Amino acid sequence: MSSEIHPILILGAGLTGLCASIQLRKDGIRHRILERSPRVGGLATTTEEAGYRFDRTGHLLHLRDPEVREWVLQLLGPHAWLEIDRKSVVYSNGVVTKYPFQANVYGLPKELAYRCVRDFVRAHFDQGPGQIVTFEDYCLRHFGEGISDAFMIPYNEKLFGVHPREITASWCDRFVPRPALEDVLGGALGVAGAELGYNAKFLYPRHGIGELSKALAERAAPVELEQDVSAIDWRRRRVRASGDEIPYDSIISSIPLDTLVQKLVDPPHEVRQAGLLLRATSLYYLDLALNTPAEKPWHWVYVPERSFPFYRVGCYSNFSPSMAPPGKASLYVELADRRPPVLSSVLPRIANDLVEIGMIRAAEAIRFARVRNIDRAYVLYDHEREGALEVIAPFLEQAGIMSVGRYGAWEYASMEDAIISGRDAACAAADALGAGGR
């Protein structure tokens, strides 16, 4: 590796790092991009086996920014994209209801449906000053006890791996649909209303989300793969990667923030201690190949009940038929247990539960199953997060490190956010360099 100083060093070739590189190339700024793994894309990758394609669970593009949307569509060409209207449901109490649960209690047992609507109405007209600190507070205040007890609390406890009172409400306004009173009343009577939520429509590449990462890599600087960063000497502006020392002026990093602070830089004591407070939850999930089509056209199913070992099931081949051989299907099953699953013991139970919710007709439909893991699936917005970031951020600025992206910024974010984060970081780095770095 060359010892030539490049003004900017990008660490990580996920969506954020790739988009940062594309922007820097556009601005004519020299830079390098290092990636630890043998391929680009981070979590936005697609694996192929026996004609089946699997992403890293559901990776769907929900684009709000018109400029980003136009740019993304041009990356692969319009015919490579599918624009999809969401088909998602909730399975609870032995029945299937529309998503989101809080606006679609029609079909639930009558006593439960009544309690959900009654408590929502009470919460809606409650003019009290109730303080919202935790996510549990948020759910009770905006949805009432019935909906919170039946769905919001158990589902999110399975998803995050902690009780909603352990996390704050600072992340959820954009991602948790809040229906109007009219939506809840209509949904209780089976009156169809507008689809709610940020993901009511989405874009998806015909051959899996990995196609997006490949297209970005073609426009970025050549990615140096299998470059494992072991240390960042921010005082001397040197990075050690795979045994080599690389000089730099500034860094754009999408390395998980906890790893960056605890293992790669040598920060002051208080910064290191703040890094120890950062928490994220892991995820084990199964990729399933079916010998048959999925029995339902659903894109994904939410399962809040604690008696089921999973909290969500998605169907890649319902996103795009190209994700499985003709007449077959590919699924993902997200597990609530954070311990590594023993496939031989968990798969028969999961197969029976998939039959119960209606996703497959019989256990024999499963051709093969693969256990997958995402080490940091969700950043936890716990009560220590904000204070920790307030300590870490000034140090990183002093060290010339922009920590960005979902895990670099330690935030709950979408793929569009990752794209914008990379672009904006590159623009900020360019502005800081000025004409001297060009």
CB under 8 Å to 54, separation ≥6 — which residues?
A: 46, 47, 48, 208, 287, 316, 323, 330, 332, 370, 372
The CATH number assigned to the domain with range 6-44+207-279+382-437 reads 3.50.50.60
* 280-292 residue pLDDT tens: 999 999 999 999 9
Q: Does pLDDT of 156 surpass 60? A: yes
Average pLDDT over residues 316-334: 98
Q: In the chain, how long is the greatest CA-to-CA distance?
A: 71
Q: Does pLDDT of 49 surpass 70? A: yes
Question: Is 135 in contact with 167 (CB distance < 8 Å)?
Answer: yes
Share of the chain above pLDDT 90, in %: 90
Residues of the chain with CATH 3.90.660.10: 280-379
Question: Is 15 in contact with 417 (CB distance < 8 Å)?
Answer: no
Q: Count of H helices and E strands in the chain? A: 14, 18
Q: Does pLDDT of 174 surpass 90? A: no
90 beta partners = 97, 302
Q: Does pLDDT of 345 surpass 90? A: yes
CB under 8 Å to 252, separation ≥6 — which residues?
A: 8, 9, 10, 11, 17, 20, 402, 404, 422, 425, 426, 429
pLDDT value of residue 197: 74
280-379 has which fold? Polyamine Oxidase; Chain A, domain 2 (3.90.660)
Q: Does pLDDT of 240 surpass 90? A: yes
Task: Look at residue 31 and give its three-state secondary structure.
Answer: strand
pLDDT value of residue 436: 47
Average pLDDT over residues 111-140: 92
Residues of the chain with CATH 3.50.50.60: 6-44+207-279+382-437
Average pLDDT of the chain is 94
Torsion over CA: 15, 254, 237, 23 (sign) = positive
Concatenated DSSP letters for 101-163? GGG--TTS-HHHHHHHHHHHHHHHH--S-----BHHHHHHHHHHHHHIIIIIHHHHHHHHSS-
Output b/e per residue, 61-94; b: 16+ Cβ within 10 A. Answer: bbbeeeebeeebbebbeeeebeebebbbbbbbee
Torsion over CA: 295, 298, 300, 301 (sign) = negative
346: left (phi over 0), alpha (psi -120 to 50) or beta: alpha
Dihedrals phi, psi of 215, to nearest 5 degrees: -65, -40
